Structure 1
Amino acid sequence: MVSDLQRYSQYLYGSFYPIVSPVSDNEANALAILTGIATPEMSEAIVASLPYSPCGIPSTVPAFRPDTPLTPELQALFAVSAAKVRNPLAFTLASASLWNLSVSTPAPALWPAAVLKGMFGISLSPTGMTFSPMVPTAFPGEKRIKGLRYRNATLDVNILGTGDRVASFKLDSVSIDNHSVGTDISGHHTVTITLSGNDLNCKPLKIEETKIIPALPAVNWSSPFDFTITNFDRRLRYGVYINGVMEEAISSDHYSVRQTGLTVTDIVPMLSADCAGYTPKPHVYIPPANLITIPASSITPRRPPRHFIKDPATATNYIELAARHNTRITCYANVPDEGDYLITIGYSNGTDRCALRTLDVNNRYAATLLFPPRKALDWISVYPSTTAEIHLKAGVNKLALTYIQGTILFNRLTLIKR
């Protein structure tokens, strides 16, 4: 989450000490609102504070390129999200954008979603169909849905007025206090909802021209602690992150890191507080004394994967971990000091399926590691698994990987003392 910008970012990324992506995926933000992942307060903040374009809701903030098209699916999602948090301005913008896009890109399934779940506020439950409408002043007059089928009934639904407070709710002229229709209804009926015309207070939307993500910095490291940005842009500042925390924002093309232990440096280009770019590949400095590597060739019993790697000399550097072979593999790490260590498995995965393994440390569950596929049928190239932080005692520690799913070739285990 980008807390100071009041919206969710794409993900955490980077090595060992992940940092927050500078980009927000607006479809994901809308889904967080609609599924209840976001709290009510966070949902309101997302809709109210998001930078909108004059034509609607952009796919990402900031954008990857200036000509990124708007999508009708996202406009519909945001229309329903805006209705849920009672933001009439955002609902009106999303609806107008959906209307404009529908001229060139028909969206027959999206308009019903925006109207039924958004403006009319229809929700279904085991007890019936409930109405919680939200109608901005931009939509005066009578709003009508004819022939809405629900179980064994057909409904004509009329909304009179604007706002979100229901002054009266009638089913065939009979007042209903819970604003809902029961599951036992059948036949043809008319629902009439009169709104009180209350003011839906919200602050003006933040509408601005599209901001483009800054270019990826090209960085040259002259030593483990000194770098130069070779494509330095004077319009930008560069956030220097050390072990996941921003150390400072620089306006110079060079910098010296003031750290001597395990150091992960990320360099983030920043155009403004709400428009930043991605860091290049994190620069990782590991003091030799902090690094322990256990190669596959030192673990027994082993099963060299000759059916994946034909060359015997190469195959002996790997151990096959699969559903029928080495479902649990154990090794021992002798560490000089008690403390917290980062563990990563070097592996290859030539399938199209992400592999999963549980990690036990000294006979206790410690983490679940992911081994994503990288390149089909490539069993030679070694990539790092996800990283876990574990606590080890001084001396010998028992480490075990247990099969959950997927085939990998184990190449090495790496421990880094924090």
Structure 2
Amino acid sequence: MKLSCIASILLTVSALLLSCDRDRMSNDVISQNDIFTVTGDSVVEGPWSAIAISPTCIKSSYSPPDSSDNLGVVKFRLAINGHDNEMAPCYYHYATTGSDTTAVTVGVPDTVPATSQLKAPMVKDHDWVVRVDMRPVVQSLDKKGYYVTATGDTVYADEFKGVWIAGNVSPLSWDFFTLSHKEQLRLHPTATAGIYEIKLHMQPSSTPVTYNHVWKVDRPDPDYAVINTGVTMVDALYNMSIYDIERKRHGNGHNGYLEKVPYGANPSYSIILSLAYLDPEGSMRTLRAMVGDDGSLSHLQGPDDLYPIVANDLSWAVSAWEIYAVTGSKKWLRYAYGVIRKTVDQDYDMNCDMQSGLVHGGLRQGSNQSQSYPAWMEPKDVYETQSLTVNLLYERAFEILSDMGDELNDENSYGEKALTLKENINETLWNERHGYYSQYLYMSAYPVQSPGIDNLGQSLSVLWNVADDDRAVNLVKKTPIANYGVPIVSPRYDNGEAVNLSQTVSPVVQAFWNLAAAKTGNQHMLRRGLGALYRAAALFGANRVAWDAYSGKALDSTDGDLGAAAANAAMVYRVYAGMTFLPGGIEFNPTIPSFMKGIKHIYGFKYRNATLDITISGTGNDIDNISIDNQVGHDNFFSGQLSGHHTIHIKMRNSTPVAQEVTLGDQNFTLPATPVVKWLKDSTRILNYNSNLDYRMVVNGQLLYTVNDSMTLRHTTAGTRFTVSAIAGVGRYALSYLSKPYMKVSSSLQLPLGANAVTPMGAKTHSSARLTVTVPVGGDYLIDLRYANGNAATAGSCPVYMLYANTHAQGALVMPPRGNGEWMNKGWSNMITAELLKGDNHIELKRLDSNGSTALVYFVRIIKK
């Protein structure tokens, strides 16, 4: 697939914001940078320190100030029917904290307060009344029967449910996905017609992040392997993690692993990292609970990650294979093979893009995000994306199905599909100029690469051999990281509201990144990654779910996070011992950094019917020799057929790693703000125009002419997609996410699906529809649906139809819910490209999903591309 020219110039960053760092660390420390140092028994960061007193005790003095107190202004917006639709994303209402009453008019933004106000201390624990003049809405509903919001939403009088408030200070939040369910944040009409009001008790520090100053257990858990690496900090943090894993294992009636973990992790990733070999039975129970009654993955998700809008379930396949490789259980293999095969067979053809060969669908969004999307994106826009991680999961699932088929003597063609998808990933998502993958393609019909970098996907591409040797080495070297670790998403993207993933380090993502660094031999990157994990757990006195990439502060006070515990444990087994589990046994490829000079022991590791005592001496990543039960050989493989007690001795060559570069991105390494554009029929205006940035019009995916804060649109063909990019840098490019697009259509076909103006499309009623389309010239056409869906956003509420043209599948059309009970709220489905012949064409829509939800379809729109 040939991408538009914008893909070739994405994200070259000024040398002032990035620097290439070579290994200047002392060989005697685990990690060090300009902010903190991690040694074998301590962490020192400014005035704070953590000391590993013993393998069972860590003491910490860490207590940074709570930054939530430094909010001198409440920033808020209103939400009609609970949607983020009052004003454009760059506009807000403001109130000085401590105010008794604030009066605003709906849709009229306030002036940004002075910097001195924004940085003033927050007034804590006070009552605040917000009074809103809703008369523009009420009068429009009374006179016209509808109200059009500043974002283009049409709210009809019969479907008006009220107005909610969202903001930056507790009890407010920016979680618009669940806002309409929070009655305590809903405004109520007063005795004065058109005036609504709410009284809130503001609690900016109601739940400040706290830290533990002592972590201690009586002894290492005897039910798990005991380690002695000669590095007290490593041993103590391993014991902390084992303790947390054991608590989670019994935390909820033996179902402790079933929880979803914020920031992109879930039990599948924890199983891949550690749990498959530390607790295979518990891991099996967790995975079984994620399977539906029909024998495929259930896709049971929340309102902010609706299937197939969110399509990252196939992490299940990778964790299922890991369990089989650990246990060798043919019973589990047959079960997992059936689940994965049925899921992939149902989902791949439905979500595959016919042009790129990649799979549609994004990662989780909303309050527990794992991907960054521009604020203008609706669920159908997220579905249109073609994500690196989602496609890697499908590619790996195909490989696993091929390997499972070999194990079960069931010949299949999934290996060929894996190779094809691997080629498509490398062709469309790799950025040759910058040496890493883009996080996703977006803007269907004319797709371009996102300026963002998905660092979970980056690491998985290395571990699963999608990135070849040279690409893998360059990827690890050139991807920008922060001093406190690799953010979930790079570069920094100031969205101003929701959880900022580009400023968040997840220990799960960091762990996979460390494994990728070890695999590519970049020990400088590995030591930085180890330092990020160890520094956080030691200073916090606990395994925490995430921390800020630029301040290092924890983002949550909950101790014993399963993902963080699995991540820390994986460093022992996956990195230092270098274990790779295969159906026939364990392969050992240790990576021993220079700080770990002594003899390393793992005692009592339980594997199938064997118990292993493992000793590793020396450093580096080259094995000198290996012996099993004192029989010296050159094979680094332990057979899964062996039982009983065995000793394994691995001697490393003490090789000195070549100094390798690491790319550092500081806090100023930030993408320009996404342009907020007001599109008119023949002109445009950039609402958040910044004179320090350049702006370019992107027409049908091509980065073309320069634009100012307002301008007239140039002449177009029958159907043209406009969007705007902001560009920072002189002579170099740092591109923003693209603005919300505008489809200017001079001519199109709008064809109803039946005799009536609207056709209910459900699983049982009108599960298919046929029509004939006559076009004057053959070629590619853009097709979408005008629809309404007032179902609540639950599992099965997003109808999916495959569109066929002249019996050939062209792509799936999704119609996600647009508001609970809002059946007059019309929108567009995703847009696909279909090849039509000159003259008559037979179009057919066939329902793909088996759920019972219904959407109202007004017409099919067909535009010449």
Amino acid at match of 1:197: N
1:92 CA displacement:
0.7
Partner of 1:55: 484
Q: 1: CA distance between counterparts of 2:450 and 2:505? A: 21
Partner of 2:183: none
Partner of 2:844: 400
1:70 CA displacement:
2.2
Q: 2: CA distance between counterparts of 1:347 and 1:91? A: 50
Amino acid at match of 1:412: F
Identity in percent: 27
Amino acid at match of 2:716: T
User: 1:285 and 2:744 equivalent?
Assistant: yes
Asked which structure has the greater RCO (Cα within 8 Å, sep 6+), the reply is 2
1:98 CA displacement:
0.3
Cα distance per residue 1:70-100 (max 9 Å; x no partner):
2222221211121122211111111110001
User: 1:33 and 2:462 equivalent?
Assistant: yes
1:137 CA displacement:
2.4
CA RMSD after TM alignment: 2.5
Partner of 2:445: 16
Amino acid at match of 1:219: V
2:862 to 399, 415, 418: 415
Q: 2: CA distance between counterparts of 1:255 and 1:20? A: 26
Partner of 1:276: 735
Q: 1: CA distance between counterparts of 2:678 and 2:830? A: 26
Say if 1:139 and 1:239 are closer, same or farther in 2 by CA, change over 3 A. farther
Contact kept, 8 Å, 1:344 with 1:386, in 2: the verdict is yes
User: 1:64 and 2:508 equivalent?
Assistant: no
Amino acid at match of 2:744: Y
Amino acid at match of 1:184: Q
Deviating more after overlay: 91-100 vs 135-144: 135-144
Question: How many residue pairs were aligned?
Answer: 397
Say if 1:409 and 1:25 are closer, same or farther in 2 by CA, change over 3 A. same
Partner of 1:219: 677
Cα distance per residue 1:303-323 (max 9 Å; x no partner):
xxxxxxxxxxxxx53212222
Say if 1:2 and 1:259 are closer, same or farther in 2 by CA, change over 3 A. farther
Partner of 1:79: 514
Q: 1: CA distance between counterparts of 2:662 and 2:711? A: 39
User: SS of the counterpart of 1:326?
Assistant: coil
Partner of 1:371: 815
User: SS of the counterpart of 2:456?
Assistant: helix
Partner of 2:598: 141
Q: 2: CA distance between counterparts of 1:14 and 1:190? A: 56
Q: 2: CA distance between counterparts of 1:372 and 1:227? A: 29
Contact kept, 8 Å, 1:338 with 1:393, in 2: the verdict is yes
Structure number having the greater strand percentage: 1
Q: 2: CA distance between counterparts of 1:117 and 1:84? A: 10
Q: 2: CA distance between counterparts of 1:79 and 1:135? A: 13
Q: 2: CA distance between counterparts of 1:92 and 1:364? A: 52
Structure number having the greater helix percentage: 2
Partner of 1:341: 781
Say if 1:320 and 1:83 are closer, same or farther in 2 by CA, change over 3 A. same
1:220 CA displacement:
4.2
Q: 2: CA distance between counterparts of 1:334 and 1:181? A: 66
Contact kept, 8 Å, 1:356 with 1:369, in 2: the verdict is yes
Partner of 1:156: 613
Amino acid at match of 2:763: A
Q: 2: CA distance between counterparts of 1:138 and 1:275? A: 38
Q: 1: CA distance between counterparts of 2:841 and 2:723? A: 32
Correspondence list, 1:348-363, <5 A: 348-349=788-789, 350-351=791-792, 352=794, 353=796, 354-363=798-807
Deviating more after overlay: 160-169 vs 214-223: 214-223
Contact kept, 8 Å, 2:762 with 2:799, in 1: the verdict is no
User: 1:89 and 2:524 equivalent?
Assistant: yes
User: 1:119 and 2:576 equivalent?
Assistant: yes
Q: 2: CA distance between counterparts of 1:140 and 1:259? A: 69
Amino acid at match of 1:24: I
2:662 to 199, 205, 218: 205
> Structure 1 regions of 5+ residues with no counterpart?
301-315
Amino acid at match of 1:371: M
Say if 1:409 and 1:130 are closer, same or farther in 2 by CA, change over 3 A. same
User: SS of the counterpart of 1:108?
Assistant: helix
Q: 2: CA distance between counterparts of 1:260 and 1:199? A: 61
Contact kept, 8 Å, 1:161 with 1:194, in 2: the verdict is yes
Q: 2: CA distance between counterparts of 1:370 and 1:396? A: 25
Cα distance per residue 1:109-145 (max 9 Å; x no partner):
2212122112322111111111011223243332332
Contact kept, 8 Å, 1:15 with 1:282, in 2: the verdict is no
Partner of 2:691: 234
Cα distance per residue 1:172-200 (max 9 Å; x no partner):
22123220111122222221111112343
User: SS of the counterpart of 2:505?
Assistant: coil
Contact kept, 8 Å, 2:697 with 2:707, in 1: the verdict is no
Contact kept, 8 Å, 2:802 with 2:847, in 1: the verdict is yes
Q: 2: CA distance between counterparts of 1:255 and 1:201? A: 54
User: SS of the counterpart of 2:526?
Assistant: helix
1:402 CA displacement:
0.8
Q: 1: CA distance between counterparts of 2:813 and 2:609? A: 50
Partner of 2:758: 318
Q: 1: CA distance between counterparts of 2:635 and 2:714? A: 64
1:358 CA displacement:
1.6
User: SS of the counterpart of 2:654?
Assistant: coil
1:45 to 474, 486, 497: 474
Q: 2: CA distance between counterparts of 1:236 and 1:343? A: 35
Say if 1:254 and 1:377 are closer, same or farther in 2 by CA, change over 3 A. closer
1:252 CA displacement:
4.5
> Structure 2 regions of 5+ residues with no counterpart?
1-428, 544-563
Say if 1:221 and 1:109 are closer, same or farther in 2 by CA, change over 3 A. closer
Correspondence list, 1:244-283, <5 A: 244-248=701-705, 250=706, 252-254=708-710, 258-261=714-717, 262-272=719-729, 275-283=734-742
Q: 1: CA distance between counterparts of 2:679 and 2:811? A: 34
Partner of 1:384: 828
Partner of 2:637: 180
Partner of 1:306: none
Partner of 2:700: 243
Amino acid at match of 2:481: Y
User: 1:6 and 2:435 equivalent?
Assistant: yes
Cα distance per residue 1:316-344 (max 9 Å; x no partner):
53212222212221011122222221111
Amino acid at match of 2:773: A
Contact kept, 8 Å, 1:359 with 1:368, in 2: the verdict is yes
Partner of 1:304: none
User: SS of the counterpart of 2:689?
Assistant: coil
Contact kept, 8 Å, 2:462 with 2:472, in 1: the verdict is yes
Q: 1: CA distance between counterparts of 2:637 and 2:685? A: 65
Say if 1:360 and 1:208 are closer, same or farther in 2 by CA, change over 3 A. closer
Q: 2: CA distance between counterparts of 1:263 and 1:253? A: 21
Structure 1's consecutive aligned runs of 4 or more residues displaced over 6 angstroms after TM superposition are none
Q: 1: CA distance between counterparts of 2:770 and 2:434? A: 45
User: SS of the counterpart of 2:493?
Assistant: coil
Amino acid at match of 2:860: L
Q: 2: CA distance between counterparts of 1:94 and 1:170? A: 30
Q: 2: CA distance between counterparts of 1:71 and 1:254? A: 41
1:241 CA displacement:
1.6
Q: 1: CA distance between counterparts of 2:469 and 2:817? A: 37
Q: 1: CA distance between counterparts of 2:703 and 2:596? A: 47
User: SS of the counterpart of 1:5?
Assistant: coil
Say if 1:21 and 1:190 are closer, same or farther in 2 by CA, change over 3 A. same
Cα distance per residue 1:28-87 (max 9 Å; x no partner):
322333334434433322211111111211121112349834222222121112112221
User: SS of the counterpart of 1:52?
Assistant: coil
Contact kept, 8 Å, 2:788 with 2:857, in 1: the verdict is yes
Amino acid at match of 2:740: K
